[in-house]
A and B are shown apart, each in its own frame.
Chain A
């Protein structure tokens, strides 16, 4: 059995934990640039690690950071040399196989989610995010999209707010008042 057996086109098998993508004998689009960036980054880290304590002592706070940065630099240079020698995969393109537009759009949506989370509050931000992304991906009719997006949001909100008691930014929605209203309602019902 091949060591990098991936089982299926789904990339699902072990992609999540261990077995990554990539090919052993050829280079994917953008791989060279990625490796160059890693090498530069490792170099910068090594420089920074040297700045922590220099070669002052083997037990200095900078010793392990310097060692790890050195390992990163050396291994990234080896990877760089190896990668540069490989042939480019013939039938793959950057925009089709590595970074399709959907990935970029979703990433932009995620960043927008992060920016809007505090000022707008969890519920409206999550609702907009879910509706937009589900509509974009599933291309179903508006009623179906709205139903699934909002339905799952309600379930998630109930689970996290009530079961896990996670505090999420309330933003413009008077969430606490809302929960209190229901508490009052139930306790009133209990008293009666």
Chain B
């Protein structure tokens, strides 16, 4: 009952309601404007909402997050430029529809389906999180350590294809997180005897550098790209269209929640898998997939919005983020003195229910902003990059400065901006770096707790590892990810499949 009250609190407080609304509105446009990304917006916003109370700050960021996931689909449909990674699959059928002059229908269907998927995700979050956090209380320190490693590895391997570069990026992140004084023994780590480094590197500077400045620098390659104008007709979809695709959307939403809930996998992968699923189950599409099939639009959009709720499950209950954006959200919660993890649900259940309430509110705002304001929208996405990029850079500098009022942070931010710029050029994923930075502390603490409780004995550590089913599963998963990238895997697969082929014939 009190859970319900906490959930509804947001509706009784006009200021919070307004902030979620503003956040969602901003998120939709940030997600849609080529050159801006949700990750960028959330990381810059953390520093600006730093001095706020926790509730308004979280309301605003949740709005941006939800709005941004949805907003990415707009440009995917209109310009064939997915505004967020989770909208990559949306472009495959959305853009052909827009080219045929059905942009309005496409946007309308996307909006309603995002709303629908979002609700399923939030529903699962509300139902599952209390159980998961109860279960998480039984986790051993080694389980947390393994989960953290697994999360970083999954982000590294699934998002880019090159696990080895992802591994490097993840390790780099953990290293960056370790810089400064060790919190347990006050030993200096990675400080190179430079006094400046004893304070550690502000993770906000790393984030804004990697997702703000490096993105802005990369966008400089495209400042001359002209904005494309599209004609948009009626966008409120007919009820029969919605009803027809309801069964599919339930299936793809479920895919979205499950994929979103796995540590290390987020909306982008959920959307691609849902797209694949829709392709398999749709028997007679009105149009071929890739040629503007509505099913190809319904599937990824329900899935990526459902994945938001899913991604909040490990984030809130375990403190393990699923992707770069949730990693940044965790950073935001840390900054406001909250400690995402199983204890959050026990110590501050009202916080959890408040977040659920904020997500629901944001979802309603998506429906509202998604089906209105299309004229304004077409104007805003046409802002030339030449004016946008300097503003992003300005905001990045102000953001890096604002957290600690320190110019040093600005230089760190610029340094990581340039580093991130080269990493992007040479195919290194940036998500694992942020996950590493966020999880560094958790990994270090839990490793030391685990090994001390086993009296510094590696043999006993591995013994303990295989005595609990959960630890075993996690450990095997970590090992499998590595093996899957080595030639050993291909050989083994050839061996097994070769055999099964022979036995079949």
A residues near B, CB below 8 A?
1, 3-5, 7-24, 28, 30-31, 34-35, 38, 45, 48-49, 52-53, 57-59, 61-65, 68-69, 71-72, 75-76, 78-79, 82, 97-98, 100, 102-103, 106-107, 110-111, 113-114, 117-118, 122, 126, 129-130, 133-134, 137-139, 148-149, 152, 156, 160, 164-169
Pair B81/A20 contact, Cβ less than 8 Å? no
Find A148's partner among B168, B185, B387 (CB 8 Å cutoff).
B387
Task: Knowing that A19-B159, A103-B421 touch, tell me 6 more A-B residue pairs with CB under 8 angstroms.
Answer: A4-B160, A11-B218, A17-B37, A17-B325, A126-B394, A166-B51
Q: CB < 8 Å: which of B165, B182, B407, B424 contacts A15?
A: B424
Q: B468 to chain A: which residues have CB within 8 Å? A: none
- Nearest CB in chain A: distance from B82 CB, A: 4
Task: Enumerate chain A residues within 8 angstroms of B424, measured Cβ to Cβ.
Answer: 11, 15, 20-21
Which B residues are CB-close (under 8 A) to A138?
A: 384, 386-387
Shortest C-beta distance, A87 to chain B (Å), equals 15
**Does B164 count as interface, using CB distance less than 8 angstroms?**
yes
The CA-CA distance from A53 to B448 in the complex, in Å, is 14
Residues of B within 8 A of A14 (CB): 82, 84-85, 88, 159, 268
Of the 9-residue stretches B220-228, B251-259, B470-478, which lies at the interface with chain A? B220-228
- Tell me if A18 and B217 are in contact (CB < 8 A): no
Contact B418 A107 (CB under 8 A): yes
For the complex, is B296 an interface residue (Cβ under 8 Å from A)?
A: no
Given contacts A11-B222, A49-B190, A167-B405, contact A20 B430 (CB under 8 A): yes
Asked whether, in the complex, the Cβ of A111 is within 8 Å of the Cβ of B324, the reply is no
B221 to chain A, nearest CB (A): 7
Contact status A111-B414, CB under 8 Å: yes
A113 to B410, CA, bound (A): 10
Which A residues touch B218, using CB under 8 A? Answer: 11, 15
Binds A, one of B103-111, B113-121, B122-130, B172-180: B172-180
Give 25 CB contacts A-B under 8 Å: A10-B34, A11-B222, A14-B88, A17-B323, A20-B427, A22-B428, A45-B175, A45-B190, A52-B188, A57-B456, A58-B451, A61-B187, A63-B451, A65-B175, A69-B175, A72-B171, A75-B168, A106-B389, A110-B397, A114-B407, A133-B393, A138-B384, A139-B386, A156-B394, A166-B48
Nearest residue (CB) in B for A48 is B190
A165 touches which of B40, B51, B81 (Cβ 8 Å): B51
B11 within 8 A of A: no
Contact of B82 among A12, A53, A79, A164 (CB under 8 A): A12
Q: Please give, as numbers and ranges, the residues of chain A lying within 8 Å of B6 by CB-CB distance.
A: none
Q: Which residues of chain A are within 8 angstroms of B376 by Cβ–Cβ distance?
A: none
Which secondary structure characterizes the binding site on chain A?
A: helix
Q: A75 contacts B171, CB within 8 Å?
A: yes
Q: Are B192 and A134 in contact (CB under 8 A)?
A: no
Do B220 and A106 touch (CB < 8 A)?
yes
The verdict on B162 contacting chain A, using a C-beta distance below 8 Å, is yes
Give complex CA distance A48, B191 in Å. 9
| Contacting pair A13 B398 (CB below 8 A) | no
Docked CA distance A118–B272 (Å): 47
Chain B residues within 8 Å of A53, by CB: 187
A71 vs B35: C-alpha distance when bound (angstroms): 33
The verdict on A17 contacting B431 (CB below 8 Å), with A59-B452, A68-B175, A75-B171 known, is: yes
Most chain A beta-carbon contacts within 10 A, residue among B39, B83, B187, B452: B187
Query: B429 to A19, Cβ gap below 8 A?
Result: yes
Are B426 and A16 in contact (CB-based, < 8 A)? no
Is there contact, CB below 8 Å, between B82 and A7? yes
**Chain A residues with Cβ under 8 A from B87's Cβ?**
13
Most A Cβ at <10 Å: residue of B165, B188, B405:
B165
Most B C-beta atoms less than 10 A away, residue of A68, A103, A114: A68
Chain A CB within 8 A of B101 CB: no
What B residues does A49 contact at CB under 8 A?
A: 189-190
B88–A17 CB distance below 8 A: no
- CB–CB A18/B429 < 8 A: yes
Is B395 positioned at the interface, with any CB of A under 8 Å from its CB? yes
Please state if B398 and A166 are interface contacts (CB–CB under 8 Å).
Answer: yes
Known: A16-B40, A16-B85. A137 touches B422 (CB 8 A): no
- Which B412-428 residues have a C-beta within 8 angstroms of A? 414, 417-418, 421-428
- Partner among B184, B385, B421 whose Cβ is within 8 Å of the Cβ of A61: B184
Q: Which residues of B contact A129 (CB under 8 A)?
A: 390, 393-394
- Known contacts A1-B272, A59-B452, A61-B184; is-contact A19 B85 (Cβ 8 Å): yes
Is there a chain A Cβ closer than 8 Å to B364's Cβ?
no
Chain B residues lying within 8 Å of A8, measured Cβ to Cβ, are: 80-81
Chain A residues within 8 Å of B390, by CB: 129-130, 133-134, 137, 149
| 1/0 contact string of B373-401 vs chain A (CB within 8 Å) | 00000000000111101110111011001
Residues on the B chain within 8 Å of A103, using CB: 217, 220-221, 421
- For B272, the chain A residues whose CB sits under 8 A away are 1
Residue of A with least CB distance to B432: A18
Q: Which residues of A contact B405 (CB under 8 A)?
A: 167
Interface string of B465-503 (1 = CB under 8 A from A): 000000000000000000000000000000000000000
A34 touches B422 (CB 8 A): yes
B175 touches A72 (CB 8 A): yes
**From B172, B178, B398, contact of A64 by CB (8 A):** B178
Whether the pair B159, A16 counts as a contact (CB closer than 8 A) is no
